[in-house]
Amino acid sequence: MKYIFDSSAMFKAIKENKIEILVGNCTLELARYEMGNILWKNYTLQAKVTDQELKSLAKLIKQTLNIMEIIQINCNEEEILDAATKLKITFYDASYVHYAKTKELTLITEDAELLKKITPYIKASKLNNITNQTK
């Protein structure tokens, strides 16, 4: 089974050293920017990582994105906006939902509130649910 990962699930996989689950799976190009923002928050606003950890995580994110299939939004803005308004979620989240639905992928996210809203619409799960299945 192939999955599409949002940035919350990707970051958790990286932090928990479960990168192998990401190999050959998908994410959106916008995940690169979301992951950068997660690093920025962890370092600048929350002081959860040191300078060295920040640099190491940035390098690891770059390497991780190189082993994943990166999907471009490519002129699907209207459909994504429709999903966002219908499900009452952000355009960012709706982008993942749209591609999960159109490519028949399971969306992996750590956002519990998002999961509640989208599971009637698409297949979705948390990282731990799929890593437990592959053991």
Average pLDDT over residues 27-50: 93
Counting residues of the chain whose pLDDT is more than 70, the rounded percentage is 97
Each residue of 112-129: pLDDT tens digit? 999 999 999 999 999 999
Average pLDDT over residues 3-29: 95
Q: Whole-prediction pTM value?
A: 0.91
Intra-chain end-to-end CA distance of the chain, in Å: 14
| Domain residue limits at 19 | 3-133
Each residue of 102-114: pLDDT tens digit? 999 999 999 999 9
The pLDDT of residue 131 is 76
The pLDDT of residue 133 is 64
Which of 31, 30, 110, 123 lies closest to 77 in space, CA to CA?
30
For residue 42, what is the DSSP state?
I
Quick check: 45 pLDDT over 90?
A: yes
The domain total for the chain is 1
Counting residues of the chain whose pLDDT is more than 90, the rounded percentage is 87
Residue for token pair 């920017």: 33
Average pLDDT over residues 11-29: 94
The pLDDT of residue 75 is 84
CATH number of the structural domain spanning residue 56: 3.40.50.1010
- Three-class secondary structure of residue 23 per DSSP: coil
